[in-house]
Amino acid sequence: MHIDCPKCGGDISDTYEPADPSTGIMSGGWYCDACDHPVADHEAYEPLPGDVPISCGRDPSEPIGVPFSELASRPGNTVEQQAKYENFKRIARSWGYD
């Protein structure tokens, strides 16, 4: 594979260094000694089975979770209190509790 430096156009094919997570270098690439310019190898990354996708689809100003005022740990007499209790039970089930 032939790689040219984007700044000076020189051949930097023989300067490739792979990623080395043990030293904190997370992406490999080439380096041009003539113009002191690194060229990252972003195309070489292959997803691994344990990778977790990161999504930024949520509005950061949106609150996360259920406000405490909308939960009740005991059933009540009114429809509102019963709805709060059902919400509490739903969250408890999602954490593995009955």
Stated as kind and residue range, the H or E segment containing 32 is strand 29-32
The reported pLDDT for the residue numbered 94 is 87
The reported pLDDT for the residue numbered 39 is 84
| Regions of the chain where pLDDT drops below 50 | 44
Cross-strand partners of 37: 32
The reported pLDDT for the residue numbered 55 is 67
- Cβ of 97: how many Cβ atoms within 10 Å? 8
The residue count of the chain comes to: 98
